[in-house]
Amino acid sequence: MTTLFDPITVGDIALSNRIAMAPLTRNRAPNAVPTPLMATYYAQRATAGLLITEATAISHQGQGYADVPGLYAPEQIAGWKGVTAAVHQAGGRIVTQLWHVGRVSHTELQPGQGAPVAPSAIRAHTKTVLLKDGAPVFVDTSEPRALDIAELPGIVEDYRRAALAAIEAGFDGVEIHAANGYLLDQFLKTGSNQRTDAYGGSIENRARLLMEVVAAVVGAIGGGRTGIRLSPVTPANDIIDADPQPLFTHVVQQLAPHGLAYVHVIEGATGGPRELADRPFDYAALKAAYRAAGGKAAWMVNNGYDLALANQAVADGADVVAFGRPFISNPDLVQRLRVGGPFNEPDRNTFYGGGAQGYTDYPVLG
């Protein structure tokens, strides 16, 4: 019987086990440049079958939080080279998560202090993080402006360039972030997309920008180095769709021919309940629709997994299980899962911003 600890190849990437480290925002990249401390942090966790970096801005416009890293300037690529080299030296595999936050941003973080951009000028009732004297401060996101249709090819190009930059920086691949109420998810869902052009209205139209991004990234670096993250029903960042099952059925059917490395699905509310009474969703049907359309990518599941739930998921046919918060406080999470614990508890006060404390100082098993 297959277990979590068995190797698997996802697209072009050979993993030593089926445990992924989920993307986790840590706000420790001043001026959006990855640091040697980040290299240490990721290398400490390199026994994960796959490390997915914290969400990483594809452009200055795509940034929405203080001190999150980017992948659009030479010094950022140079910083990431230090991270990928350290992870590979430690025997790990690492992809980076390509991020455009859309409306989940603040004028202070935008080029020229402009308004954040969105499918429609509808504000997200959510918070972002600014740093004041090095300490995280949670503030309301700013009122966005609707993107002109003429701006969309430039955003697709930013994804393509960031994917190429990722390969230049030594990553094994990329994950397109289409989840959690950020730009691509904002286009997908009715609560944030009220456009009347070719990018709004029907499911096909709302999925158009995502599919253009997928085609551009796959065209640049290959499907075997490209993953995608989806969150059909999460309320994160004030996102909602009126009818998510047919929307995401269409999305995975369109993804199927791209030969992706993996499809990463957040089940339920990001970092919260796996089942939402007011937002039911059939994940088995989603996977079945993807397979029926010929999709062969690894199926990666995420949200609130512990060892028992992860074993059950693998027994039920999941290919990879992504763990988030447990990786913050357990750099050797794979070994701890193997022996059944114990597990260090994470310190929430050091999640966002700061230095080594609560970042690279969690102990491994003796």
Q: Which residues are near ligand PHB by CB under 6 A?
A: 25, 55, 65, 179-180, 236, 270
Q: Which of these is catalytic: 41, 72, 182, 305?
A: 182
Round to whole Å and give the CA distance between 358 and 244: 37
Nearest to 25 by CA among 77, 101, 108: 101
In the complex, which residue's CB is closest to ligand PHB? 25
Chain mean position to CA 253: 20
Of 102 and 222, CB closest to ligand PHB: 102
**Nearest approach, Cβ of residue 104 and ligand PHB (Å):** 8
**Nearest approach, Cβ of residue 195 and ligand PHB (Å):** 23
Of 270 and 360, CB closest to ligand PHB: 270
Residues 138 and 129 sit within 8 Å (Cβ to Cβ) = yes
Q: Is 182 a catalytic residue?
A: yes
Tell me whether the omega of the peptide bond preceding residue 342 falls within 30 degrees of 0, making it cis. yes
Structure tokens at 361: 């100082």
Say if strands 19-21 and 127-132 run parallel, antiparallel, or are unpaired.
Answer: unpaired
Round to whole Å and give the CA distance between 50 and 221: 18
Of 179 and 297, CB closest to ligand PHB: 179
AA letter at 45? R
Of 174 and 256, CB closest to ligand PHB: 174
**Nearest approach, Cβ of residue 55 and ligand PHB (Å):** 4
Q: Which residues, including other chains, have CB under 8 Å from residue 275's CB and lie 6 or more apart?
A: 268
**Nearest approach, Cβ of residue 61 and ligand PHB (Å):** 16
Round to whole Å and give the CA distance between 65 and 354: 14
Q: Indicate which residues carry an active-site annotation.
A: 182
